[in-house]
Amino acid sequence: MHVPWTLKYMPKTLSEVVGNEDAKRKMLQWVQSWSRGIPKKRALFLYGPPGTGKTISAEALANDLGMELVQSNASDYRTAEAVERFAGRASQYGTLSGKKRLILFDELDGIAGTADRGGLSVITEIVKKTGSPIILTANNAYDPRFSTLRNYCELTEFKKPSRTEIQRHLRKICSLEGIESEDDALKLIAERATGDVRSAVNDLQALAQGRKRLTYGDVSWLATRDRKEVIFNVLRSIFYAKDSFSAKDAVDMADVDPDMLLEWVYENLPYHVKDPKELAATMGMLALADIYRGRIASTQNWSLMRYFIDFMTAGVAASWSKKATGWVPFKFPTRIGSMSASRADRQMLSAIGMKIRKRCHVSSIRAVKEILPYIRVIFESNPEMGAGLAKWFDLDEDMINYLAKQ
């Protein structure tokens, strides 16, 4: 099986992470400051769009400094008890090996609803008294839920890497793979990735693997390619594969990472596999794949990736008779779609709340709950006054459009 280049060329050191030089420098300086005593801010809060390198930077930093990394994500700290088991003792006691410890709370955006409030409050308490450096990551550090937690954190923003930085990274991979590449070809791949390094590397592998030379003509079709159609073809190749090898080979076509592919397979299996026993068998294969995904995340043992992919592809294909009734369309994963939509709304409301807070001298939470509803009414009933308020609050065009369409 081909090793995904996103894994093969995963940064091992902070210097290998693409872009965000200022953020990486702040990370290093903050962790090194612990050698001079516990700093005033005992946690570092990394925030920014998905795919900008927040998590991999924390992992690479721990590797650079020879620290023991204790890592978790939202699924591991949905309750106070789970957080305490994960990081309570780790934050207070040293390691058996004598190494310094770095604790990573990843994907705080995944905390949602009343069931998670206990977990978030315990994270805040751990940050307040930790004896080990803690790094937190989220897409939006200014989410109202994090208002208390932010008081105890040093904030560091991660931005999308530039086209030039991604292009330089792709050129390095081509050199290591022995591929001669035209600058215009790499430029198009980098531009189309829109700041997502993983997407760019996936495109490069799909286009260049097995070649000695990559030209602009080889990649020009990227400008009009529909990624949704690509993933539909991948799903067809997995679900209706003639044999296990064909199902596994479909992964090389995928324009998404394995975690996202699992979501696509999970969402669409019930619509194609009609027999209850066969559906149970295919879901059993996905459950095994998910177990290995969890082990990879907890142990960083990437050699387990082959089992994750095998169960998700060959295991699924071999577990049913492939006798679907009529044409069945593929659907976008609703779990991902609903999460993305609600996250975008939360981020926009939080940003508007911060604008109102500066003018009205109230908390951003109170601004959203008590003041924003009146602003919406004004935008709907009196556009002229709404325009004046937009100028007074210094709302940008996206914020104005968001309020105007409510």
Number of domains composing the chain: 4
pLDDT on residue 314: 92
Length of the chain: 406
Question: How confident is the model over 272-324, as pLDDT tens digits?
Answer: 898 889 999 999 999 999 999 888 878 878 778 889 999 999 999 999 988 76
CATH code of the domain in which 169 resides: 1.10.8.60
d(CA 10, CA 56): 8
Alpha helices (H) in 240-371, listed in sequence order: 244-249, 258-272, 276-299, 305-310, 316-317, 334-360, 364-366
d(CA 223, CA 383): 39
Q: Are residue 244 and residue 327 in the same domain, yes or no?
A: yes
pLDDT on residue 1: 44
Mean pLDDT of the chain: 81
Q: Does residue 3 form part of some domain?
A: no
Q: Are residue 153 and residue 90 in the same domain, yes or no?
A: yes
Ramachandran sector of residue 66 (left: φ over 0; alpha: ψ -120 to 50; beta: rest): left
CATH code of the domain in which 79 resides: 3.40.50.300
Note down the domain range covering 72.
Answer: 20-157
Alpha helices (H) in 86-182, listed in sequence order: 117-129, 147-150, 163-177
Mean pLDDT across the stretch 74-97? 56
Q: Are residue 44 and residue 92 in the same domain, yes or no?
A: yes
Token pair of 224 as six digits:
């009009």
Q: Are residue 321 and residue 340 in the same domain, yes or no?
A: no
Q: Are residue 324 and residue 353 in the same domain, yes or no?
A: no
Mean pLDDT across the stretch 366-387? 81
- 336 pLDDT band (50/70/90 cuts)? low
Q: Does residue 172 form part of some domain?
A: yes
Portion of the chain with pLDDT greater than 90, in percent: 28
Of 157, 179, 209, at which residue does a domain stop? 157
Q: Does residue 107 form part of some domain?
A: yes
Q: Are residue 311 and residue 348 in the same domain, yes or no?
A: no
As a three-state string, the secondary structure of 300-323 is: CCHHHHHHHHHHHHHHHHCCCCCC
pLDDT on residue 277: 92
Q: Does residue 206 form part of some domain?
A: yes
What pTM was computed for the model? 0.55
Q: Are residue 151 and residue 195 in the same domain, yes or no?
A: no
Q: Are residue 44 and residue 120 in the same domain, yes or no?
A: yes
Q: Does residue 393 form part of some domain?
A: yes
Question: How confident is the model over 129-181, as pLDDT tens digits?
Answer: 888 899 999 888 888 888 889 999 999 999 999 999 999 999 999 999 999 99
Mean pLDDT across the stretch 364-368? 78
pLDDT on residue 302: 76
pLDDT on residue 224: 47
Q: Does residue 2 form part of some domain?
A: no
d(CA 284, CA 117): 32
Question: How confident is the model over 99-123, as pLDDT tens digits?
Answer: 788 988 887 876 644 444 557 788 8
Q: Are residue 78 and residue 139 in the same domain, yes or no?
A: yes
Q: Are residue 255 and residue 350 in the same domain, yes or no?
A: no
Q: Are residue 152 and residue 26 in the same domain, yes or no?
A: yes
Of 223, 249, 269, at which residue does a domain stop? 223
Of 202, 223, 244, at which residue does a domain stop? 223
Q: Does residue 8 form part of some domain?
A: no
- 25 pLDDT band (50/70/90 cuts)? very high
pLDDT on residue 340: 46
Which amino acid does the sequence have at 162? S
- 376 pLDDT band (50/70/90 cuts)? confident
Q: Does residue 7 form part of some domain?
A: no
CA atoms in the 13 A half-sphere facing the CB of 383: 3
- 29 pLDDT band (50/70/90 cuts)? very high
Question: How confident is the model over 224-265, as pLDDT tens digits?
Answer: 445 555 677 888 889 988 888 888 878 766 656 677 788 889
Portion of the chain with pLDDT greater than 70, in percent: 82
d(CA 354, CA 339): 22
Q: Are residue 210 and residue 152 in the same domain, yes or no?
A: no
pLDDT on residue 87: 56
Q: Over 70: is that where the pLDDT of 52 sits?
A: yes
